[in-house]
Amino acid sequence: MTEVRVAAVVLALVAALLPASCSGRPDPAPDAATSQAGAVRLAVVGDSITEADSPDFDAGRLGPQSWVHHAVGDGVVLAGGWARWGATTAQMAAAVEPVEADVLVIVAGTNDVGSGEPAECTRDNLRRVAEVVGAQRVVLSAVPPIDAAPHLATELNVELEDLAAEERWEWVDAPAGLRQGGRFAEGMASDGLHPTEAGARVLGEAIREVVLDGGGQ
């Protein structure tokens, strides 16, 4: 069995064992979005790395293994978005709705490479996500490692960085602090795909820094 097939099997098993419903529409978290006057309103779109152990992501109830948990607070509020375990970018593009947000952060694509989605389809799906959400700023993050086949994440991140440049979005290699070589550093992953709470903190704090930076403005 090749490395690519091993990675695909791992991704498929994770998606099968955990909730992966993509039919629901999210309700934004209006209370959180209005609780801090002048705060940056954050919209997020992603998969299990974003939803993680959140009790109710759509309602803004975040778990500590979600990077969003570590990105919000003190000037950043979650305005809405969409994230599901096992979601591909096509499912994200089909499910997202407009969000009244200042900045959209996307962490996505891991499940695309696991299912063999062509890179151009991933690009088109992410363009659609940004278009529908409608935030003035778009931040596209690299994805964390895929320990079973490190080159898949590396190649995907090249595509994502190129897309960000093409669309004039902001690019951040937020998982840089999670990596050792092409794989997760010790203590940063629970299963070779998903960050631990410590890893989620590293990811969330890196994204938060970019969000608060205001695109260099």
State the pLDDT at residue 214. Answer: 78
Q: What is the pTM of this model?
A: 0.84
- Give the type of residue at 90: A
**pLDDT reading at 18 higher than 50:** no
pLDDT single digits (tens) 177-195: 999 999 999 999 999 999 9
What pairing do the DSSP bridges indicate for beta strands 76-83 and 103-107? unpaired
Least confident stretch, 24-38, 42-56, 87-101, 128-142: 24-38
The two beta strands, 103-107 and 137-141, are parallel
Q: How far apart are CA 108 and CA 164, in angstroms?
A: 13
**Model confidence over 79-120: pLDDT tens digits?**
999 999 999 999 999 999 999 999 999 999 999 998 999 999
Q: How far is CA 9 from the centre of its chain?
A: 21
Q: Which residue has the higher pLDDT, 45 or 16?
A: 45
* Residue found under tokens 């529409």: 25
For the stretch 49-71, pLDDT in tens is 999 999 999 999 999 999 999 99
Q: Is the pLDDT of residue 8 over 90?
A: no
